[in-house]
Structure 1
């Protein structure tokens, strides 16, 4: 009598069993290999210093090209661009068109970074920076200058989208907040440099041309050190390039034992493959790479190209050829990231960074670039506070502590504008900028860490686009709105947004300090668990 056939099983259940067994196997390996590489002390070496500093060149240029406009607007003479007079609207146009270009740059960066890699996209970005810098420096008409500002905006948008993604994917979990804050430090440093250079060149004929042209230098330096910067290991894994991913991880963790680096690679392959298991339910573990299938051993065996019959081999789906709907947890993560970025811009920060020199010029300050530089310097210095505090204190706590400081600064500045008190205005703006730089200046850009790998580049583009759309609206309308409703009421309007921002963070922004990128997804699995870290690890 034939034995009864086992009941048919659902393909997805089989997949879950496979991954459960693999997690169990790797957990046993982990127990015998001291600590996870992410939990080891992370010493700074010359190589990883080049990696992190080189990657933030895009942020430096982002800051320089957005900050330099304040000095340019003071030094630009109408006859330099074939005009009789430069109106407020034309100043707003020259300023805001960069934000509009950045919106399109963020859209372009998303498919480019996914298809060609983060490193190649950053190289393309720096090439565009060079072209735009030369274009703007040689402009002889308003039209050409606006086109040049639009082109540099595209490069800024690519940098704003791609650099945080790259930094989040190459940084250890224990230092990811610090590494992401480095990008913001580069942005604020670029803005400060633009003010220092503007101040030093204000008596030079056609100095605004030199201000634009100097932006080409950091971009050229990045292109020269490109060979020392590795590609994102997570992107390489998503393309099935496991051997290259191992080389990239060894560059990122130069002092870690090879055994732990190899184990980190296996965990990443497993986690990235698990993201795709529902996309390839019939054959979820097949790796598709050109004409070969690649395998990675679980028991600390080297990478090899072998057959599926080898024991203890993990084979993970590396690329999906079809489009799928975004999973609910990714939608929730993206909504949080975009909303926080919206609040970053409507707080009014770029109205002050772009137009601070013009604002103080209206109060007949002898050299309006000096208080403008003080604002930029405060932005830079307090970004160092974020750099030091964001990992030990946590992103959520930093936001809750600092948004109120921003609100107080805005209310004080409203009083200063109402009383025409220049000293109070400056002090209030410095309070506001200090609070902003300590939290809202850097943390919204780190929201890319909420997103799963298969949505990270797209999500970063959405977050960046939110930034640039909001930024465009503020920068293209601020001078006009302030003329209509008054500077004091404009400050109150910004303060209302910061209050709403604090309420949003309290109820919807989760803490993720110390979590790996792959573990963060659990925070958004069932709603938004703002207390996940505290409940599970503290």
Structure 2
């Protein structure tokens, strides 16, 4: 049969691959890389996919500095409910997009889904940029949300499926780094607002550029070999493997895919299969990690740090928020170097511990009168430490871990369900954060976020498995 490989070749390559992964797991990653030289190059395609992650971060952060100015322009300065809807309409759309992305990725493939994603992304930012009423702005934000919801589901999925096992954690972490760079870009883009109140319109419309680049780049990118294999397109899967890893690793990767054939040979899973006894536990881990991530307060910080710093008496509140964005990028860069060394589970625990301590500091800053003279400095310090802690684990790990632990036949749908949980909880926080702060006070809200961090540590310790140094197929077989 065309594209077939011999059993002897597959077995030999798989054994060699296991040996290399063992070396990598012991920290000898460079030796493992040297022994298998590759004529392929996965990095450009990871970079193209991460344009979707960049847009994810940009559209989350763009409203931070722009909210005050667009509220004046659209006449909703005194209406915190409508301001909340401007923030949260993006998240409502993203909830729809995350489920749509999973369906499309299964039906037409990962790369074609990326290309279709440019439609809501471009339409949404265009409407937001020209909006003369709050209704048009909300519609634009919903459409943009659909776009980033789709990309949030398929960026980590695509990266996990095209990445070599020995550096999958590192490349998966680039997804979170790209989100952080997008948030930082949005915060920096807000700096001219003080001198040009209408600059907020430009802040939205310039996002057209990376949207178009994403679609064009994906038109020339290889499809996921795992998706092609599942569709029975074996010859195309081998061509994709050659482009990504080099012809030297075709037998090895095909051997891994064949090893998972028992599950792959089953029919494509339906939505109800996610709640069967076979998959319920692993799917619940995906939903729980994103719930903890959101209710630990990260997006309340992303959306409203400028307002919080203003409350604390910081004069250059937008600049302080930009500093938070820089901390996010730095922490994510450090996480890239740690992901394949320290492992996913330990980074999650360390991250939530740091976030909880930072939230306690922030709570005391806004409640303890003795700290009032230092409230500005402590607010910035606590927020920076919180974001640094988040970017080390709670930020990058869920999107990286979940494609690793979900079986191939449920991977896209389970990712969509998990991301749907992410966006729904994100929507609730974005919509009600200001109202809850007005009712209970910032200190109490931050204390609540800190309590969620403690619960997250307990949950991760008892329910999350370590996946470092194991192929997707090995993880799938082990969990099955």
TM-score where L is the length of structure 2: 0.89
Distance in 1 (alpha carbons) for counterparts of 2:9 and 2:210: 47
Output aligned runs, 1:237-248, within 5 Å. 237-248=229-240
Distance in 2 (alpha carbons) for counterparts of 1:92 and 1:168: 34
1:397 Cα offset (Å) = 1.0
Given candidates 357, 361, 377, the residue that maps to 1:412 is 361
Is 1:94 matched up with 2:82? no
Corresponding residue for residue 466 of structure 1: 421
Given candidates 372, 377, 380, the residue that maps to 2:329 is 380
1:163 Cα offset (Å) = 0.8
- Is the contact made by 1:329 and 1:524 (CA closer than 8 Å) also made in structure 2? no
Corresponding residue for residue 60 of structure 2: 66
Greater relative contact order (Cα < 8 A, sep 6+) = 2
Corresponding residue for residue 55 of structure 1: 49
1:44 Cα offset (Å) = 9.4
- Is the contact made by 2:10 and 2:251 (CA closer than 8 Å) also made in structure 1? no
Q: Secondary structure at the match of 2:61?
A: helix
Q: Residues 356, 324 of structure 1: CA spacing in aligned structure 2 closer, same or farther, 3 A cutoff?
A: closer
Given candidates 368, 391, 394, the residue that maps to 1:437 is 391
Corresponding residue for residue 351 of structure 2: 402
Corresponding residue for residue 27 of structure 1: 11
TM-score where L is the length of structure 1: 0.80
- Is the contact made by 1:68 and 1:194 (CA closer than 8 Å) also made in structure 2? yes
Q: Secondary structure at the match of 2:366?
A: helix
CA shift digits 1:254-288 (9 cap, x unpaired): 3xxx35313422431x23431145x4xxxxxxxxx
CA RMSD of aligned residues (A): 2.5
1:359 Cα offset (Å) = 1.4
Given candidates 429, 432, 435, the residue that maps to 1:477 is 432
Larger radius of gyration: 1
Higher helix share: 2
1:201 Cα offset (Å) = 4.4
Q: Which runs of 5 or more residues in structure 2 are unaligned?
A: 1-5, 25-31
Output aligned runs, 1:223-234, within 5 Å. 223-234=215-226
Corresponding residue for residue 134 of structure 1: 126
Corresponding residue for residue 111 of structure 1: 103
CA shift digits 1:86-108 (9 cap, x unpaired): 42111111001111111111111
1:166 Cα offset (Å) = 0.6
Distance in 1 (alpha carbons) for counterparts of 2:198 and 2:125: 15
Length, aligned pairs only: 458
- Is the contact made by 1:330 and 1:524 (CA closer than 8 Å) also made in structure 2? no
Q: Residues 238, 367 of structure 1: CA spacing in aligned structure 2 closer, same or farther, 3 A cutoff?
A: same
- Is the contact made by 1:402 and 1:435 (CA closer than 8 Å) also made in structure 2? yes
Q: Which moved more, 1:393-402 or 1:85-94?
A: 85-94
Corresponding residue for residue 244 of structure 2: 252
Q: Residues 23, 517 of structure 1: CA spacing in aligned structure 2 closer, same or farther, 3 A cutoff?
A: farther
Is 1:275 matched up with 2:275? no
Given candidates 265, 268, 275, the residue that maps to 2:254 is 265
Q: Residues 29, 148 of structure 1: CA spacing in aligned structure 2 closer, same or farther, 3 A cutoff?
A: closer
